[in-house]
Amino acid sequence: MLQNYAPILILALVVAGFAIANLIISDVLGKKRRAIGKADAYESGMDPVGSARVRLSIHFYLIAVLFILFDVESIFLIPWAATVRTLSAQGLGPVMFFEVLAFVGVLAVGLAYVWRKGGLEWDR
């Protein structure tokens, strides 16, 4: 069984060895020049202004979590929609419909809660 994976293991070792060898060789043979501005932060060709420690509102993170929540909803709904005919042919159509209805209902209640609390307002 392990013989089947031996070529993959050998390739992984060769690749890792090649990468490590390149890093060591470039460090040993490379020129070490200290230049003004070489270690400075680079952002779109402009000099950095101000501190990098900017405080952001928690609202941005809440919107990101809501996006992920409803993105996951679509991940679960698309396969269900693709197999609904097959499930109906097997007699599972009504059961699956009510399960998906309950799933969407729970998400709708969550959306209503966030909407009521003002979690979707940008100008706060």
In a domain, 27, yes or no: yes
Looking at the structure, tell me whether residues 24 and 62 fall in a common domain: no
In a domain, 90, yes or no: yes
> Which tokens belong to 122?
């940008």
CA-based Rg of the chain, rounded to a whole angstrom?
Answer: 27
Q: Is 53 left (phi over 0), alpha (psi -120 to 50) or beta?
A: beta
Angle, in degrees to the nearest 10, between helices 58-89 and 93-117:
170
Looking at the structure, tell me whether residues 112 and 64 fall in a common domain: yes
The residue segments making up the domain with residue 19 are: 1-32
- When divided into structural domains, the chain yields a total of 2
pLDDT tens for residues 39-91? 777 767 777 777 778 887 777 888 888 888 888 888 888 888 888 888 888 88
pTM of the model: 0.48
Tokens 């090649």 found at? 18
Looking at the structure, tell me whether residues 73 and 112 fall in a common domain: yes
Q: Which of residues 66 and 23 earns the better pLDDT score?
A: 23
pLDDT at 18 over 90: yes
Neighbours of 84 (CB within 10 A): 15
In a domain, 108, yes or no: yes
In a domain, 10, yes or no: yes
Mean pLDDT for the stretch of residues 81-107: 86
